[in-house]
Amino acid sequence: HSRPTAARSAGCRVIVHVDLDCFYAQVEMIRNPELRDKPLGVQQKFIVVTCNYEARKLGVKKLMPIKEAKEKCPQLILVNGEDLTPYREMSYKVTELLGEFCPLVERLGFDENFVDITEIVEKRLNQLQQSGCSRVSVSGHVYNNQAIDLRDTTHLRLVIGSQIAEELREAVYARLGLTGCAGVASNKLLSKLVSGTFKPNQQTVLLPESCPDLIRGLDHIQKVPGIGYKTSKRLETLGVRTVCDLQAFPSAVLEKELGVSVAQRLQKLSYGEDESPVTPSGPPQSFSDEDSFKKCSSEVEVKEKIEELLPSLLDRIHKDGRQPHTVRLTIRQFSSTEKWINRESRQCPIPPRLIPKFGKESSNLISPLVDILMKLFRKMIDVAQPFHLTLVSVCFSNLKDLPSSKKGSIGFYLKPMSSPSRPGKRVQEVEDVSQAEESVSWNQNCNRTGTTKTRKLSEEQKINIKQAGVPDLPLHSSPGAIDQEVFRELPEDIQKEILSGKT
């Protein structure tokens, strides 16, 4: 149907990036208002994963070890944040609310969303031009304090965009009690980069003339959203460390090294160009949970870890209402050199006889699922040899609706918060939203301050990570695919069942 209008084509888009302030801490302050105005840290294992701005004023930082945080700020109050349920639920409420303004909302992790507001801007621009009124003023900051020229329609569009961004933030605050920052720019990359310029609870618009300053201000290439760990290491071997290096690097050589499409994408990013559309996220495409630890080195322990992960995962699937058809196991082996990229995974179809049990008889699923997951495990690890794992993750994907089900919609994630906080033992999980795999390249290596979320940690701290080690470019394969190697290893009856169920 409707073809993209001129305004929607990449050049004239207006994109808002919304990033909530100290997200987990804000959720905790809503759950317990007594915590407001007090320095608050959210604890996972021995790390403060985030803290409110009271605590930040007193020197506490995100990802600080508990010990150090307590030294810096003895009055720091800590709440356990290992059960992600309240954060996940609030996170979907925010996405849903933004979706009421505009259908093009893309989640990035739990506390960030891109909103493509081009169409709303166009409408307001038309109204403005028809009414002949030129009294428009910017909301929030202008990057670099650049002067606005309202005769320039690009400026005018972005100024209108800043007003809409303000309205989005106001709505999130009025309806959910959450504050956040926003960046307004002509593409996703720039909106994300500019949104954290003034924090907390502020917003910034980027006019095109200031783009070179913003992008060059990043210095190291790994701070560019979309350039992940692997890619940046690869680029470093070519002598490319800064954004300027990347801009100046001969395209032909880069194309030969990385392939034409990756090379071109990277070089465009280095100039702040990003044509990737805002892709509505919708309901999650997978459910996963993981646990990380210092050492797990026996089959019995691996089995225990998996058994611990399954019940809450099955509960989430039950609440969603759809049935998964693929299960995946991911492990991370300890390595002193390749600390962040040594994740490995295997997946296989879920035997058809088990599928109807999701939801209804979840407890009967644990033992057969553990068997399957242990087989996947043995595909990756030779258990006759010593091994040392630091992470185990289970993911259910390839979700299909029950014929009569109305669930699996994003609205389903917006029920009033229900689940009580359990004293969790888990630390992190990989984001579950659709396009999760694609989002990884954005999410893993960049936040507004441009620091790597977890890679700067000391050896001990590294246990607590967020999506680290997932490859950036290129994106990995589809979750529904059958791993032939694993398939051959499955017991014959399960193989037959899978084959019969596949037609």
- Which of 284/324 has CB closer to ligand TTP? 284
Q: Using alpha carbons, select from 472, 498, 265 the residue that is nearest to residue 375.
A: 498
Site membership for Mg ion, residue 111 (CB under 5 A): yes
Q: Which stretch binds ligand TTP (CB under 6 A): 6-14, 21-29, 33-41, 151-159?
A: 21-29
Which member of 28, 106, 111, 437 binds ligand TTP (CB under 6 A)? 111
For the bound state, the minimum distance from the C-beta of residue 201 to Mg ion, rounded and expressed in Å, comes to 11
**Least Cβ distance, residue 155 to ligand TTP (angstroms):** 28
Q: Which of 336, 187, 208, 343 is nearest to 269 (CA)?
A: 187
Contact 325, 478 (CB under 8 A): no
Q: Where are the alpha helices (H) located in 249-351, listed in sequence order?
A: 251-258, 260-270, 299-320
In contact, 50 and 72? CB cutoff 8 Å: no
Structure tokens at 98: 């933004």
Q: What is the largest CA-CA distance in the chain?
A: 79
Would you say 284 and 236 are in contact if contact means Cβ atoms under 8 Å apart?
Answer: no
Q: What are 371's two structure tokens?
A: 């068997």
Residue 19 or residue 106: which is nearer to ligand TTP going by CB? 19
Q: Which is nearer to ligand TTP, 232 or 447 (CB)?
A: 447
Which member of 13, 17, 62, 339 binds ligand TTP (CB under 6 A)?
A: 62
Query: Three-class SS of residue 116?
Result: strand
Least Å distance, CB 65 to Mg ion, is 20
How far apart are alpha carbons 173 and 171 in whole angstroms?
A: 5
Stretch that binds ligand TTP, among 20-28, 143-151, 417-425, 438-446 (CB under 6 A): 20-28
| Options 54, 106, 112, 431, the catalytic residue | 112
How distant is the alpha carbon of residue 98 from its chain centre?
17
Binding-site member from 13, 45, 50, 91 for ligand TTP (CB under 6 A): 50
Question: Residue 174: phi, psi to the nearest 5?
Answer: -65, -40
In angstroms, rounded to a whole number, what is the distance separating the alpha carbons of residues 187 and 393?
Answer: 33
Dihedral pair phi/psi, residue 205, rounded to 5°: -110, 145
- How many residues at the interface with ligand TTP, by CB under 6 A? 19
**Number of CB atoms found within 10 A of residue 73's CB:** 21
204 binds ligand TTP (CB under 6 A): no
**Among candidates 84, 24, 481, which has minimal Cα distance to 288?**
84
SS (H, E, C) 475-494: CCCCCCCCCHHHHHHCCHHH
Among Mg ion, ligand TTP, none, the one that 471 touches (CB under a kind-dependent 5 to 8 A) is none
* 3-class DSSP state of 293: strand
When binding is defined by CB under 6 A, the residue of 63, 121, 172, 310 that contacts ligand TTP is 63
Asked whether the bond before 416 is cis by omega within 30 degrees of 0, the reply is: no
Based on the residue annotation, tell me whether 460 is a catalytic residue of this protein.
no
Distance in Å, CB of 44 to ligand TTP, minimum: 7
How far is Cα of residue 177 from the mean position of the Cα atoms in its chain?
Answer: 22
CA distance 113 to 123: 22
Q: How far is the CB of 21 from ligand TTP (least distance, A)?
A: 4
Applying CB under 5 A, the span of 23-31, 81-89, 286-294, 470-478 interacting with Mg ion comes to 23-31
Which residue number, 258 or 446, has a Cβ lying nearer to ligand TTP?
Answer: 446
* Selected range binding Mg ion among 20-28, 97-105, 156-164, 311-319, rule: CB under 5 A: 20-28
Nearer to ligand TTP, 124 or 466 (CB): 466
Q: Can you tell me the distance from the alpha carbon of 402 to that of 408, in angstroms, rounded to the nearest whole number?
A: 10
Q: Is 114 in the site for ligand TTP (CB under 6 A)?
A: no
Stretch that binds ligand TTP, among 18-26, 286-294, 395-403, 413-421 (CB under 6 A): 18-26
Using CB under 6 A, which of 110, 358, 377, 396 touches ligand TTP? Answer: 110
Task: Give which of ligand TTP, Mg ion, none residue 62 binds (C-beta under 5 to 8 Å, depending on kind).
Answer: ligand TTP
Q: Which helix (H) or strand (E) holds 216?
A: helix 211-216
CB 364, CB 389: distance < 8 Å:
no
The label of the residue with tokens 């803290």 reads 51
Q: Considering the complex, what minimum distance in angstroms separates the CB of residue 62 from Mg ion? A: 9
Residue 104 binds to ligand TTP (criterion: CB under 6 A): no
CA atoms within 13 A on the CB side of 308: 15
DSSP string, 18-66: EEETTHHHHHHHHH-GGGTTS-EEEEETTEEEEE-HHHHHTT--TTEEH
Residue (449 or 503) nearer to Mg ion, CB: 449
CB 20, min distance to Mg ion, A:
5
For Mg ion, the binding residue among 14, 15, 18, 19 (CB under 5 A) is 19
**Least distance to Mg ion from the beta carbon of 271, Å?**
26
Binding mask 431-460 for ligand TTP (x = CB under 6 A): ----------------x-----xx------
Nearer to Mg ion, 17 or 45 (CB): 17
* Shortest Å, Cβ 26 to ligand TTP: 8
Q: Binder to ligand TTP among 59, 200, 282, 474 (CB under 6 A)?
A: 200
According to DSSP, the residues that pair with 19 across neighbouring strands are 112, 181
Question: Which residues bind to Mg ion, rule: CB under 5 A?
Answer: 19-20, 23, 111
Where does this chain bind ligand TTP (CB under 6 A)? 19-24, 49-50, 62-63, 110-111, 199-200, 428, 447, 453-454, 466
Q: List residues with catalytic annotation.
A: 112
